[in-house]
Every structure is written in structure tokens, then in C-alpha cells.
Amino acid sequence: MLKKIEMFTDGSCLYNPGPGGLCTIIRYKKYRKIIKFGFYYTTNNRMELMAAIVGLEFLLKPCIINLTTDSQYLRLGIILWIYNWKKNNWLKKNKKPVRNKDLWLRLDQALKKHIVTWVWTKSHNNHQENEICDKIAKKEAKNPKNNDLLI
């Protein structure tokens, strides 16, 4: 039987591009794990993607996951847009390359072993875990320790 996990993610970037941070909260029953990183130079969208990726990659066994994000870029990208990107050799409708292809590929791979339901929440709307993730991601962006592609 697969474990049912709740995951909450957020990414932040101070100047976009600029220093960025991410936070992921993983909750299973009474267990709670917070994953956080700060990066020297990145974008907000990369941090949103990385927050989901690090959470999914942290789970060693297949799980059923409700993943809550305030990023429509992340949610719509993975539930809708990615299918056409793959079909069109990672080009958008305007024939320009998809940004962050490296992370979309990594996210797509991380999803293969899990069953994920993508839940969107409006940011800064008093969603407790989203507010915590936002606060931690911003703190990490102010104290970066990682290069963008190292984790």
C-alpha cells in the first residue's frame, strides 16, 4: 500500500533573476520534513520547479502525493503544457525553446514513480503551509549557498 503524502512547495527570487530560495514541506501522518535551499543566481520559475523536484526526489519509495503550490507556471506546465512541448521537440507554439527544459525533464522523471495530484492555492491567502514555505524560501534567497544546477 502506498503512503499518502502531503507536499507544499514555494520558490522565491529577490530580483528575478537574482538570488533565489525554495522550500518544500513534506507531511506524512505526524511526520514533517522541511527541505530548503538558497541559490546565488536563478529565477523565480526555476525555484518553483526545484521546490517540487527536491520534494519528489526526497521520497525514496512510490507515494500518493497531494502537492500544493501557488505557482500556475509549475502546475499548468506539468499537467498541460509539457505534453505539447515533448511532442514539439521542446519548442513552444511560437517555435522558441521552452525555458527551464532541464528542470521540466527532471520533474517529469521524478514524477514517474509517484501518483501526484496538483493543487493550486492563491499565494498570500493565509494558507498556513504556503505562508511557511514562502517565508523560508525568502529567507534562503537572502542567504544563498548553492549554484543553481548543483542539487
- Catalytic residue IDs: 10-11, 48, 70, 124, 134
Give the count of beta carbons closer than 10 Å to the beta carbon of residue 123. Answer: 14
Contacts of residue 17, Cβ cutoff 8 Å, sequence gap at least 6: 41, 42, 43
134 marked among binding-site residues: yes
Instruction: Report CA Rg, the chain.
Output: 15
148 marked among binding-site residues: no
108 marked among binding-site residues: no
Query: Largest Cα–Cα distance of the chain, in whole Å?
Result: 47
Alpha-helix residue ranges (DSSP H) falling in the chain: 44-58, 72-76, 82-87, 101-111, 128-141
10 marked among binding-site residues: yes
Quick one: DSSP state of residue 64? E
> Which residues sit in the known binding site for Mg(2+)?
10, 48, 70, 134
